[in-house]
C-alpha cells in the first residue's frame, strides 16, 4: 500500500494525458530519489529508478537520512527498514490496527484483493492526499478539485510474474516517490507511477515467461516505456466514486 | 555443508519417487521460509525460493528471528550472518574443529572434494538427521529405517557455472530448508533439494554459457523443474554404505 | 575516483602488452579480494569479481576487516560503507576538500568530466602511486621509471549504459583491487582494470541495448574478455604529460 503525504488535491482525476505529461517530466528532470529501504531490495530498487530516468540514492539506515534532506527531490520510506521481517510485522500491525482489514497477510505480501482495501484506503485519506493498493488491478484513491472530492481510479495491466520476483513491490513504491516529485500533485504522481509500472510489466511479460528472465526484461521495459507505449497500452478506468 | 536438525529417519533411502513427491508437495504447499542470511545473497536467495514456489521472508539480523517463529514453515540459518567474512571464519572453524577436515577453504568456498567430506558428514550425524556436502557430485548422508542405518546418496548433475555466481550455495541451503518443511523426513527433503537444484543447473547451462546470463537462466530453470524434468534428468545413485 | 596506495612506480607507462600480461596473471592466480562495500552493490561486485576470475570475500562492516588481513591478496575499500548516502557525502567532501574540484556531484555519481579531474588526480599522487577518474574517457595518472615521472594514460571505450546500472562503478573499483594484486606495480594494475572494464562494456553493449539486460551481458563480457579481445578492442592512448 502506498501513501502519499498531505499535499494539494489534483485539479482533475488523473487520466492518460496527465500520466503522459508526468512521464515526460520525469525523463526531463531526473529527480534524485532518496530511498530508505532494505538489503533485499536495495539493488533492484536502484536499478528500477535508473531505468525510469530517476537518480537513486540508497540509504539503509534511518540515522543518515538527514544528510540528503537538502538535495533530494523525493524520499521513499519503505517500512521494510531494516528487515523484511519487520516490514511484515508492520504490515500485519497496519492492516489489523490502522485500517481494520484483518488477515490475509503472508510473508511480506498480502493476499487481500486490492478492491477490498478501498474502504481502508479512503479512511487513510484523513492522513494522506492519495492512497493506492496494488494487485491484479491497482486501486488508487485521492482528492480532486477545490472541494477535495474523493475519487477512485483503477489501473489494470501488470503481470502474474511480478509477485514471483522479489522487490518489485518496493520498486513500485520507488516509482511513486519519483513521480510524486515531478507531477503537479501527489494523486497524479501516484497514478502515473502505477500506469508506468503496469505497462512495463506487460511489455516484459511478452519477452519473458519465467521469473529469472522477467527481472531484467522488466528493467528493460521500465526504460522502454515512452509516450507511445503509454498511449497504446495504458489501461486506466474512468474515475468513479469509491 | 547443509545440516538437517534432528528429526525422524527416512522410511527408505530417498530415490526418484520420493523426490518427485516432495517437489509436488512444495508446489502445492508454498512453504514460508524464514531466511537468516547476508546482504550479498539475500536478493538471489529470495528469488530462488520464489522460483521453486516457496514464500521467502528475509531476515538479516538474528534479533528479529523470533517475530516469525510462529508462522514460518522453515527457517534457514546461513552461518554467513552478518557477513561473508564471518561465514568464512565460521567455515574454517567448523571444518578444522568440528569435522577434522583441515584446510582447503578459500574465501567463502572450500576446495575440498565433497567425497572427502563423507567421513566428517557421518560424524555429524550424531548432531543431525542428515548432512550433505555439495560439489561436482553432491554427497548426502542420513539415517534410514527404524534401526537408523546410515546410508550415502550421491547426486550428480549441476554446472561448473554454479560457483561462478555468488549466492548459489546460499540458494541451495534455502531450497534444503523449503524441502525440509514439506518432505516426510529431513533426509528426503535434503536429497530432493539437491536433485531439484542440480537438474535446474543443467537446464540453465543449456541456455547460458557464461555467469552473467546463467544467473537468470538458473532462476528460470528452478521455476521450470517439474515432474517430467525430474524423471528425465535426475541423477541419483543407488544408496550405499558411506 | 580510484586511488592506488603508495607502491613502486611502473617500469614504463602501461600499454597494451602490460595489460595483456596482467590479465593473464589475473586468470592464473585467482586473487582473493576482500571487499568493504555496501548493501546496494555487494552482490553485483561479487559477481563481477567472479566473472573476471577473482575470488570475492564480501565484508560489509569495517570491524571484521582484520579477519581476512592474513589471507586476502587485495582489499577494496569502497568509501560507500555503510551507506550510499555516506558515500555521496564523502565524495562531496573529498572532491571539495581534498582535490578542490568543487561541485558537479549528484547522488552517488559526479557529473564532472574526468578530464577536469586530472589536475586533482596529479595532486593526489602525493598520497598514492596511481589515481584514476572514470567517465566517457577514463583518465589514469601515475609515476613511471626510477625518477617517478608523472604520466597520463587515457582509456576510451565503455558504454553509456554503465551509469544506468547501479554498482558498475563499485565493480570497477573491485577490478582495480584485483588487478593491483597481480600486476607488477599499482599503475599497471589500475590501467589494466580500466581496459578490461571498458572492453567488456563495449562487448555487452553489442548484446544489450537497455539497462536490465545490459547487467547480465556485462558480467558475461567480463568473463569473455581474453587476450584476443584485448588486442582487438583495447583503446589506450599513448602516454602523455598530464
The b-or-e profile of A190-203 (16+ CB within 10 A means b, else e) is bbbbbbbbbbbbbb
Look at B48 and B99; give whichever has higher pLDDT: B48
Query: What local confidence, expressed as pLDDT, does residue B114 receive?
Result: 87
Contact call for A58 and C43, based on CB within 8 A: no
Query: What local confidence, expressed as pLDDT, does residue A109 receive?
Result: 53
Taking the CA of residue C32 and the nearest CA in chain B, the distance in Å comes to 7
Kindly report the pTM of this predicted structure: 0.90
Query: What local confidence, expressed as pLDDT, does residue C200 receive?
Result: 98
Least confident of A4-8, A129-133, B230-234: A4-8
Query: What local confidence, expressed as pLDDT, does residue C107 receive?
Result: 42
Which residue matches cell numbers 559526479? C110
Q: What is d(CA B121, CA B117) in angstroms, rounded to the nearest whole number?
A: 6
Asked whether residue B65 carries a pLDDT value surpassing 70, the answer given is no
Helix (H, G, I), strand (E, B) or coil at C213: helix
Residues 6+ positions from B17 with CB-CB distance below 8 Å: none
Residues 6+ positions from A37 with CB-CB distance below 8 Å: A45, A58, A60, A76, A78, A80, A81, A170, A174
Query: What local confidence, expressed as pLDDT, does residue A154 receive?
Result: 97
The b-or-e profile of C110-140 (16+ CB within 10 A means b, else e) is bebebeebbebbbebbeebbbbbbbbebbbb
Q: Does A88 touch chain B if contact means CB atoms closer than 8 Å?
A: yes
Asked whether residue C103 carries a pLDDT value surpassing 70, the answer given is no
Query: What local confidence, expressed as pLDDT, does residue B106 receive?
Result: 45
DSSP-derived letter for residue B8 is: P
Contact call for C86 and A67, based on CB within 8 A: yes
Asked whether residue B78 carries a pLDDT value surpassing 70, the answer given is yes
> Which residue in chain B is spatially nearest to C33 when comparing CA positions?
B107
Name the A residues in 117-176 with CB < 8 Å from any C CB: none
Contact call for A42 and C39, based on CB within 8 A: yes
Q: What count of Cα atoms within 13 Å lies in the side-chain half-sphere of residue A235?
A: 14
Q: Does A206 touch chain B if contact means CB atoms closer than 8 Å?
A: no
The b-or-e profile of C19-36 (16+ CB within 10 A means b, else e) is bbbbbebbeeebbbbbbb
Neighbours of C228 (CB within 10 A): 10
Query: Alpha carbon of C66 to those of B30, B78, B115, C59: distances in Å?
Result: 41, 22, 32, 10
Taking the CA of residue C43 and the nearest CA in chain B, the distance in Å comes to 5
Which residue matches cell numbers 565524495? C91
Query: Alpha carbon of A53 to those of A56, A201, C211: distances in Å?
Result: 9, 17, 11
Q: Is the ipTM of this complex over 0.90?
A: no
Span C173-177, mean pLDDT? 95
Q: What is d(CA A181, CA A170) in angstroms, rounded to the nearest whole number?
A: 17
Chains touching chain C through at least 3 C-beta pairs below 8 angstroms are A, B
Q: Over the stretch A196-225, which tens digit does the pLDDT of each residue have?
A: 999 999 999 999 999 999 999 999 999 999
Taking the CA of residue C218 and the nearest CA in chain A, the distance in Å comes to 13
Q: Over the stretch A73-113, which tens digit does the pLDDT of each residue have?
A: 888 877 643 444 444 444 443 443 733 333 333 444 555 68
Which residues sit opposite B33 in a β-bridge?
B56, B74
Query: Alpha carbon of C9 to those of C12, C74, C129, C189: distances in Å?
Result: 8, 18, 7, 11
Query: What local confidence, expressed as pLDDT, does residue A218 receive?
Result: 98
Query: What local confidence, expressed as pLDDT, does residue C55 receive?
Result: 93
Residues 6+ positions from A65 with CB-CB distance below 8 Å: A34, A36, A59, A75, C85
Q: What is d(CA A22, CA A28) in angstroms, rounded to the nearest whole number?
A: 10
Query: What local confidence, expressed as pLDDT, does residue A105 receive?
Result: 37
Residue B217, C-alpha cell as written in the block: 537462466
| Backbone dihedral region for residue C32 (phi beyond 0: left; psi -120 to 50: alpha; all else: beta) | beta
Query: What local confidence, expressed as pLDDT, does residue C3 receive?
Result: 81
Q: Over the stretch C134-172, which tens digit does the pLDDT of each residue have?
A: 988 999 999 999 999 999 999 999 999 999 999 999 999
* Confidence tier at C226 by pLDDT (50, 70, 90): very high
Asked whether residue C232 carries a pLDDT value surpassing 90, the answer given is yes
Query: Which candidate from A51, A67, A216 shows the least CB-CB separation from C85?
Result: A67
Query: What local confidence, expressed as pLDDT, does residue C130 receive?
Result: 94
Q: Does A111 touch chain B if contact means CB atoms closer than 8 Å?
A: no
Peptide bond into C82 cis (omega under 30): yes
> Which residue in chain B is spatially nearest to C35 when comparing CA positions?
B85
Peptide bond into B101 cis (omega under 30): no
The b-or-e profile of C70-102 (16+ CB within 10 A means b, else e) is eebbbbbbbbbbbbbbbbbbebbebbeeebebe
Query: What local confidence, expressed as pLDDT, does residue C86 receive?
Result: 44
Asked whether residue B16 carries a pLDDT value surpassing 60, the answer given is yes
Q: Does C216 touch chain B if contact means CB atoms closer than 8 Å?
A: yes
Span C207-227, mean pLDDT? 98
Residue C43, C-alpha cell as written in the block: 552482490
Instruction: List, as own/partner pairs, every contact residues C87-93 make where C-beta atoms lie below 8 angstroms and the sequence separation is at least 24, other chains included.
Output: C87/C38, C88/A57, C88/A67, C88/A68, C89/A67
Asked whether residue A28 carries a pLDDT value surpassing 80, the answer given is yes
Which chain A residues are closer than 8 Å to B215 by Cβ? Answer: 212
Which chain C residues are closer than 8 Å to A68 by Cβ? Answer: 85, 88
Which residues sit opposite A142 in a β-bridge?
A130, A151
> Which residue in chain A is spatially nearest to B56 when comparing CA positions?
A107
Residues 6+ positions from A28 with CB-CB distance below 8 Å: none
Helix (H, G, I), strand (E, B) or coil at C64: helix
* Confidence tier at B57 by pLDDT (50, 70, 90): confident
Which chain B residues are closer than 8 Å to C59 by Cβ? Answer: 83-85
Residue B192, C-alpha cell as written in the block: 530432493
Taking the CA of residue A216 and the nearest CA in chain B, the distance in Å comes to 8
Taking the CA of residue A133 and the nearest CA in chain B, the distance in Å comes to 20
The residue ranges of DSSP E strands in C73-180, in sequence order, are: 74-77, 105-106, 109-110, 130-133, 138-144, 149-155
Residues 6+ positions from C179 with CB-CB distance below 8 Å: C22, C26, C188, C189, C190, C192, C193, C196
Name the A residues in 21-60 with CB < 8 Å from any C CB: 32, 34, 39, 42-43, 46-47, 50-51, 55-60
Amino acid at each position: 500500500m502506498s501513501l502519499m503525504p498531505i499535499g494539494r488535491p489534483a485539479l482533475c482525476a488523473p487520466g492518460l494525458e496527465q500520466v503522459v505529461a508526468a512521464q515526460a517530466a520525469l525523463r526531463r528532470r531526473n529527480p534524485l530519489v532518496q530511498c530508505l529501504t532494505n538489503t533485499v531490495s536495495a539493488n533492484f530498487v536502484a536499478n528500477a529508478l535508473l531505468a525510469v530516468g530517476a537518480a537513486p540514492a540508497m540509504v539503509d539506515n534511518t540515522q543518515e537520512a538527514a544528510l540528503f534532506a537538502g538535495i533530494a527531490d523525493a524520499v521513499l520510506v519503505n517500512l521494510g527498514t531494516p528487515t523484511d521481517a519487520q516490514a511484515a510485522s508492520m504490515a500485519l500491525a497496519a492492516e489489523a490496527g490502522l485500517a481494520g482489514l484483518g488477515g490475509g497477510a503472508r510473508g511480506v505480501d498480502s493476499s487481500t484483493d486490492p478492491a477490498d482495501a478501498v474502504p481502508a484506503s479512503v479512511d487513510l485519506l484523513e492522513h494522506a492526499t492519495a492512497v493506492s493498493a496494488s494487485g491484479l488491478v491497482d486501486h488508487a484513491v485521492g482528492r480532486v478539485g477545490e472541494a477535495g472530492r474523493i475519487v477512485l481510479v483503477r489501473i489494470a495491466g501488470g503481470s502474474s510474474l511480478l509477485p514471483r520476483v522479489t522487490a518489485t513491490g518496493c520498486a513500485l513504491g520507488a516509482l511513486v516517490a519519483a513521480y510524486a516529485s515531478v507531477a503537479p500533485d501527489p494523486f497524479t504522481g501516484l497514478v502515473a507511477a502505477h500506469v508506468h509500472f503496469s505497462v512495463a510489466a506487460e511489455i516484459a511479460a511478452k519477452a519473458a515467461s519465467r521469473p529469472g528472465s522477467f527481472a531484467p526484461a522488466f528493467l528493460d521495459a521500465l526504460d522502454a516505456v515512452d509516450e507511445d507505449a503509454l498511449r497504446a497500452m495504458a489501461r486506466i478506468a474512468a474515475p468513479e466514486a469509491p
